[in-house]
Amino acid sequence: MTTVKSSNLGYPRLGEHREWKKLLESYWKGDVTEKEFHATSKEIRLTNLKKQIDAGIDIVPVADNSNYDHVLDTSVAFNIVPTRFGSYTKKLTLDQYYDIARGNKDNVAADMTKWFNINYHYTVPEFDNTQPRLLENRWLKYWQEAKNELGVNGKPVIVGPVTLIKLGKLHGDYVSTEKDIDILLDSILPLYQQVFKELQDAGVDWVQLDEPSLVKVAHEEEVKPYRRAVEALRAAAPKLNIELQTYFDAIDPYQSVVNLPVQAVGLDFVNGNGENLRHIREFGFPKEKILAAGVIDGHNVWTADLSKKLQLVTELQGISSELWIQPSNTLLHVPITTKYETAAAPELLGGLAFADEKLPEIVTLTQTLNGDDTRVSFTENAAALKALNESKARNNVTVQTAIKNLDQSHVERHSTYAERSKLQQAQLHLPKLPTTTIGSFPQSTEVRAKRAAWRKGHLTDDQYDAFIKLETTRWIKLQEDLGLDVLVHGEFERTDMVEYFGQKLDGFYATQNGWVQSYGSRGVRPPVIFGDVDYIEPITVAASTYAQSQTEKPVKGMLTAPLTIINWSFVRNDIKRADVQNQIALALRQEVINLEKAGINIIQVDEPALREGLPLKKRNWQNYLDEAVYSFKITTTGVRDETQIHTHMCYSDFEDIISTISDLDADVISIETSRSHGEIISAFEAVDYDKQIGLGVYDIHSPRIPTVEEIADNIRRGLKVIDDKQFWVNPDCGLKTRNEEQTLSALANLEKARNTVLTELEAEA
């Protein structure tokens, strides 16, 4: 009979009450010593491990914790440190570690980008001139801690060598060629071998080798470096069992991957359009290996349909001689527990499963396959799902009818961009190289305190609104003093650009404590889209019109676009994703029209997650991009030609979607570029981009203040490929995470840099 065990791949880091986030920020402020930091970190780690043990998980991950980001942890353990920060011969101090992540007064931070196609950021390894050496076997350290403190023989989790290489950059480009991969493997494989040998010698049974980049491999030939890596690791530690873990999609060269020399292979049976299941049905699974089946969704928050999952795992049990039941990916990407969601309607709460609720689902399926009586769990599960699906929220006839009638809607602007731009300039009278910001200003301690007091009922609605207006007025004046050309209201009423809209639209649930790590100490609370999305009342109109009343300069209305809301939310999984996206678009269209009616002449509809959400396999790109363009146009095409539509996008590698960016038909686009050192500019060299664009000229993620000359150089480089009549000057993202001094100093330098370049252009004319 097939042996079945329960397994987990990773657990959220933030803590039930964001203890980890608060610890990091206290350390950065100097309120906590390094010794105190490590002591509290240990408490959080052990609490997280004990929860998994108590839930009944047989195979518990260790070393999945981090002081900022697990890719950065792996890099610094191997001295893969950007050379501008130096080279080390011993373990980095916390300050040295955070210099790489956040930058310092002398050096810009390491590049940061999205982890595959989800809303988690990782720190990009830089392999230029590095001298890899093992500075710390962190995986052994945390295994020993779990063994000594809790008596558990955990499963260390490590980013695999090929994925680490492919996530990194060499000479400014992401590593992709076979030659570069082989050369870099020569330098880092011996370090991995040393780690694995030390783990084996200490008595570790299993190690989880995360190679998620395998899901992007299209051909058998591309599996070679992975084979080389695991063969080297097996040679170094022949008694150490390896679970080769993949996730986020299916494996194309299935037979080559499952036959690699490892003891277990982890496959994702949630994502990938069922392709992994089709492969296993067609080709079977090696009898000598364990199938680690990712059947519980690790990237969404819905209670699993246990009856359907049981059918799946029963089929897999008949195919594999040994089976592990686990989530599709680490639970890092979901909130921790639903027990604080006291405001959720009963039918919704019954349908939610955060990390702590997913663990029992894994255990229940495991126990059922092992012959235990779990009938009560299945009965309760079926009742909860039935209540949610029959709820009023999921059966809004008006919204469902509007979606069916979409084909009859007009989703194009009235005139071409060339015609619109003339009308817009006649109305706005903007100078050459206009300056603006992306939208948000610092969420100061006072702003957060006032919001918290209001939520607790310690401030009335009128008192809170009065404070927001005072803060808005103050920042409008600050922007005017700086000399910015197009102003923003600052978004002081918003906690998050997606969560805020989730609180204002029907069909969304704004969680009370559903925090998820985005990067470093940054936590977000993705809204839960559980029902049909409907427009209730104006959302941003009052804030935008108030700000506009305080100045003669144009103020942008600020919205988040449908695809980004989808990508940064937990989306219902009972209907097509595109239908949910278009429901949001129809609701936002009403908001855009209402902003225009209220006298707002520039409306920014941000789509920062467009590029990051691309499917991992290129064959699925076009459908995704077509749906993105369609929903964006539903949102933006109800306005007059004179109304200027802006959008904002994050991160590099836009070469493949330049045509999509143009198809959005936004009048002005701003793109985050500074952390990728301007490489994105090359994407525009090969295209005749005819609309207006702002290439972010400084990095807002770092507390470092850019110099005037640095910003001027970034402007000059942009002007090599973008005509000065099309070029806007702006930071690369919102300024919510910076403090006031940093923000004003950086924007003052931005304004000086723009004026410097303007003077140069006038001299050349």
Long-range contacts of 658-663 (CB under 8 A, 24+ apart): 658/683, 658/684, 658/687, 658/689, 660/610, 660/625, 660/628, 660/629, 661/689, 662/689, 662/690, 662/691, 663/629
Contact, 68 vs 97, CB < 8 A?
yes
Catalytic residue at 701? yes
Is 15 known to sit in a ligand binding site? no
What are the φ/ψ torsions at residue 201 (nearest 5 degrees)? -65, -25
Is 642 known to sit in a ligand binding site? no
Contact, 330 vs 9, CB < 8 A?
yes
For 376, residues 6+ apart whose C-beta sits below 8 A from its C-beta are none
Contact, 278 vs 303, CB < 8 A?
no
Radius of gyration of the chain (CA): 26
**CA nearest to 665, candidates 691, 694, 635:** 691
Dig out the tokens for 680 from the structure: 């994105």
For 481, residues 6+ apart whose C-beta sits below 8 A from its C-beta are none
Is 553 known to sit in a ligand binding site? no
The three-class DSSP label of residue 532 is: strand
Give the C-alpha separation, 568 to 526, whole Å. 6
* CA within 13 Å, CB half, 683: 21
Contact, 139 vs 158, CB < 8 A?
yes
**CA nearest to 325, candidates 711, 4, 621, 543:** 4
Q: What one-letter code names the amino acid at 268? A: D
**CA nearest to 161, candidates 71, 82, 89, 50:** 71
Is 302 known to sit in a ligand binding site? no
Contact, 722 vs 693, CB < 8 A?
yes
For 413, residues 6+ apart whose C-beta sits below 8 A from its C-beta are 420, 636, 637, 639, 641, 665
Give the C-alpha separation, 193 to 201, whole Å. 12
Contact, 532 vs 399, CB < 8 A?
yes
Give the C-alpha separation, 440 to 445, whole Å. 15
Is 53 known to sit in a ligand binding site? no
Dig out the tokens for 544 from the structure: 């935008």
Torsion of Cα atoms, 25 then 27 then 30 then 32, to 10°: 120
Dig out the tokens for 299 from the structure: 């990237």
What are the φ/ψ torsions at residue 3 (nearest 5 degrees)? -80, 130
Is 19 known to sit in a ligand binding site? yes
DSSP code, position 318: H
Is 256 known to sit in a ligand binding site? no
Q: How many CB atoms lie within 10 A of CB 682?
A: 13
What are the φ/ψ torsions at residue 728 (nearest 5 degrees)? -110, 155
Is 648 known to sit in a ligand binding site? yes
Give the C-alpha separation, 472 to 555, whole Å. 12
Q: Which of 121, 279, 646, 701 is catalytic?
A: 701
**CA nearest to 434, candidates 698, 726, 723, 641:** 726
What are the start-end ranges of the H helices in 107-177? Answer: 138-150, 161-167
Is 186 known to sit in a ligand binding site? no
Is 612 known to sit in a ligand binding site? yes
Q: What's the N-to-C CA distance of the chain in angstroms?
A: 82
Give the C-alpha separation, 676 to 320, whole Å. 44
Dig out the tokens for 58 from the structure: 């047989």
Is 617 known to sit in a ligand binding site? no
The three-class DSSP label of residue 393 is: helix
Is 18 known to sit in a ligand binding site? yes
Is 179 known to sit in a ligand binding site? no
Is 315 known to sit in a ligand binding site? no
State the residue for tokens 């040998």: 197
Parallel, antiparallel, or unpaired: how do β-strands 727-728 and 692-695 relate?
A: parallel
- 176 class by beta-carbon count within 10 Å (0-12 exposed, 13-18 middle, 19+ buried): exposed
Contact, 178 vs 225, CB < 8 A?
yes
Is 67 known to sit in a ligand binding site? no
Is 119 known to sit in a ligand binding site? yes
Is 381 known to sit in a ligand binding site? no
Is 491 known to sit in a ligand binding site? yes
Parallel, antiparallel, or unpaired: how do β-strands 528-535 and 505-509 relate?
A: antiparallel
Annotated binding site for L-homocysteine: 438-440, 491, 606
Catalytic residues: 701
Annotated binding site for Zn(2+): 648, 650, 663, 672, 733
Annotated binding site: 18-21, 114, 119, 438-440, 491, 568, 606, 612, 648, 650, 663, 672, 733
Annotated binding site for L-methionine: 438-440, 491, 606
Annotated binding site for 5-methyltetrahydropteroyltri-L-glutamate: 18-21, 114, 119, 568, 612
